[in-house]
Amino acid sequence: MKGVLAGIAAAAAATVLLAGATLGVLVSRNLPDLSFPRIPGLRAKVTVAVDASGTVTVTADHAGDAYRAQGYLTARERLFQMELQRRLAGGELAEIFGRVALPSDRLHRIYGFARVAEAAVPLLPAAERAEVAALTDGINAFIDTHAGRWGLEFTLLRLTPRRYTPADALRVLLMMCEELSTTWRKEIAAERLLSRPPSVRRFLTSGFTTDDLVLVPDAGKPELPPLPNQGDATPLSALSAPGFSAADDPDEVPGSNGWAVSGALTKSGKPILANDPHLGLGAPGIWLPMRFVIGGHLVEGVTLPGLPGVTLGRNERIAWAFTNLYSDVQDLYRETIVDGMAKRGAEWEKVARREETIPVRGAAAERLVVRETSHGPLVTGNLALKWVALDPANLRLPASNVMQARDAEGVERALDGFFTPGQNVVWADAAGNIGWRATGLVPVRRPGTDGSIPYDGSDARNDWRGFVPQDEMPRLVNPREGFVSTANQRVAGTTWPHVLGTDWPSPARARRIATLLEAAGRAGRKLDRAAVESVQLDTASPVLAATMEAFAPFLPPDWGARFRGWDGRAEAASSRFLVARAFRRKVGERALRAWRVAPDFGLAEYRVLDLARADDAAFRGAGLGPKADFVKGAWDNALADLGAKNGKDASRWRWGEANRLAVRHPLGRVPGLSWLFDPPSFPQEGATGVVRVASAGFGQSMRFIVDWGAPDEATLVIPFGVSGHAGSPHRLDQLPFWRDGDPSGAATRLSRPARETAGFVP
């Protein structure tokens, strides 16, 4: 028997070794080579220099040649990422992943992204169309010259990439539009609030806080909403009423930080610009660092794989940063449909129908019928979606124009062509100027409405009336404060004559950045690159600290003492931050239940602070019962949840463990392959409500800093590395500096000596 078992063990070991050896061969075979084949359309020689981080510098006489090289080099490192991105947009993931991908495919077939992208290509300005065609030439040159060696994922999935098209590039743009401007589900949630008392609606939907940081001023000091006034009629038993489930944390929203400080506040006497966009984290990350020297002029920063040029970065005269503007560019229209006809006043309009066939790996193809009206596709029931991004005429790729801007006027002209998604663009130039500009197409709606709830589709007065002219979009140059800060807060005050949006993320990050910059100015501490990075890595939440300070008298004495004077830092070793976040969430859930509001609406952190500062009479008047009883119930619920997840010993609870990085590669979900494809998991500093945004799969997608006193020492770090290939030395080499910071800037400097130089020839 022992001999049999030994034989089985030996056979198993041999099988494992053989599988490991086979996998090792496949990994090695699919690593990028350094060949430089001929690319169709290349006009002159293109030189490519590679530094120690794997970041390339492309030197070309012509922009088109530079983009051809960019296409090839991007495909060499990120082809599988681009393949998934275009399939995601087109609703084609189930073809390789099976039924698990059908919900995503159905949604994107309803949107019709593939059709929109195809229709948009001939509508692009000629120069932009030529740029995306050049990029496509380069991508296809890699595909054509590396048959069977496109990447390990292609081999394991037995997948052959189809040739890239200009429409595929526009699919990438549409996916960014979806991530940064999807609001239609919130309009449905807001409509449900119409059944609640006006005082509840006002409290939940007010966009005003004590920390607002508007760049266009308000006409007067906004009036903050009082607590709802419902009388003391709601019994506490209603707080456990059925029909409600735990909501996601209301702070878990996409966001970014971007700011610039003038030379008056810096050691160099020149402006400093900083940017850290917050997006979902994937393996590889969303951005690909790259440098160009085109016709002798430098531009460097990050590219978006599948799009030509630098998206965020700097040239020799100007640097620019993006944060999401949160402009509302989607509206729902409730259609009255009878016998396939949609009511339009006294007339009727035929509802169009298109049939989509979704191939499904391992199963029969699915047939999907999509209905559309003149407002857009019906996304749920009879609700049609009007969206700036679904009009092919609104898609533009103006990166090259931004890259060529030499001064404030040039960047403003370039940004006039940046139609979607709407962004806050903060800029700083070598001449010493700083500024901000809101970009994008902002719909002009029916007077007296703001698009926050669905419209009646049968009334033509509810249709959009064009867009706000670009020369009326808000902007600011050289503010007297000496800095400009955007972090997705409400930026356009009530003096701006148009409706920009209604659903703003918390201003806490923007206010914290401003507070730190102001404090440095008052103390006479001049800022340098390291000081700016320390702001990007700041983990304090003054709002949460103030909330817990106000609630402290109602907490158990030991915990109340711990929260008095607390700074609200989201440190990895902190138990206080973990408990405070869980408690704040329970406060919001219990209040919403008492007001008969579904928890998916969420209670914003400043509204929880309002509750914390309210007295017992206000609690009773809001229908929440005695404040002490309410707080005790929320506290007990929070500690019960934490105990179930983290063990009963609260002294061992750690925020960092609850906030571990947990980024997954699509193939990392295959049993036995996580070790190969998924990045490491580790406890994290930061949180979604602080400047250093960090959660399991969402956070700082890159950090970029440029000091115009030493522009060649600009630094940039991404979460993992430039390569998407398992086994590449550049797949995870930036992770330590993204995780821990880089005070000296030596490890994350963009301008570094080349390790290898080669190139393409016509």
Domain coordinates in residue numbering, the chain: 184-212+230-247+540-653, 256-329+397-536
Decide yes or no: CATH 2.40.10.10 for domain 256-329+397-536. no
Residue 289, CA atoms < 13 Å, CB-side half-sphere: 29
Whole-number pLDDT of residue 279: 94
Taking the C-alpha atoms of residue 725 and residue 151, their distance in angstroms, rounded to an integer, is 7
Please determine, for residue 1, whether its predicted confidence score (pLDDT) is greater than 50: no
pLDDT tens, residue by residue, 311-369? 999 999 999 999 999 999 999 999 999 999 999 999 999 999 999 999 999 999 999 99
Please say if the pLDDT value at position 166 is more than 50.
yes
Question: Do 412 and 420 contact (CB within 8 A), yes or no?
Answer: no
Sequence-distant (6+) residues with CB within 8 A of 382 are 334, 335, 336, 337
Report the percentage of the chain scoring pLDDT > 70.
Answer: 94
Strands 434-438 and 423-429: antiparallel
Averaged pLDDT score across all residues of the chain: 92
> Which residue, among 760, 759, 753, 758, has the nearest Cα to 51 in the 3D structure?
753
* Res. 32 pLDDT band, cuts 50 70 90: confident
Taken in order 477, 481, 486, 491, the sign of the CA dihedral is negative
Provide the residue count of the chain.
Answer: 762
pLDDT value of position 253: 61
Contacts of 595 (CB under 8 A, 6+ apart): 196, 200, 204, 228, 230, 622, 623
End-to-end CA distance of the chain: 69
Look up tokens 């797949």; give the residue.
731
Percent of residues, the chain, with pLDDT higher than 90 = 88
Taking only the tens place, the pLDDT of each residue in 122-149 is 999 999 999 999 999 999 999 999 999 9
Q: Please identify which residue in the block is written with the tokens 């056979």.
A: 11
* Three-state DSSP class for residue 201: helix
* 29-33, 154-158, 268-272, 293-297: range with lowest mean pLDDT: 29-33
Tell me: pLDDT of 445 over 90. Answer: yes
pLDDT digits (tens, 9 = 90+) for 609-642: 999 999 999 999 999 999 999 999 999 999 999 9
**Whose structure tokens read 């195809």?**
118
- Rounded to 5 degrees, φ, ψ at 151 are 150, 155
From 2-16, 318-332, 709-723, the region with the lowest mean pLDDT: 2-16
Cβ atoms within 10 Å, residue 215 = 23
Mean pLDDT computed over 199-222: 93
Instruction: Convert the pLDDT of each residue in 643-675 to its tens digit.
Output: 999 999 999 999 999 999 999 999 998 888 999
Which pLDDT score, from 0 to 100, does residue 394 have?
A: 97
| Gap between the Cα atoms of 39 and 10, Å rounded | 51
The angle at the Cα of 341, spanning 337 to 454, to the nearest 5 degrees, equals 40
- The angle that helices 605-613 and 542-551 make with each other, rounded to 10 degrees, is 30
Q: How far is residue 91's CA from residue 558's CA, in Å, rounded to a whole number?
A: 54
- Under the banding of pLDDT at 50, 70 and 90, the label for residue 241 is very low
- Give the pLDDT mean for 263-272: 97
Q: Which pLDDT belongs to residue 561?
A: 96
- 474: number of CA atoms within 13 Å, CB side? 22
Q: Which two tokens stand for residue 390?
A: 């679904």
Global pTM? 0.93
Q: Helix (H, G, I), strand (E, B), or coil: what is residue 484?
A: strand
| Band (402; pLDDT cuts 50, 70, 90) | very high
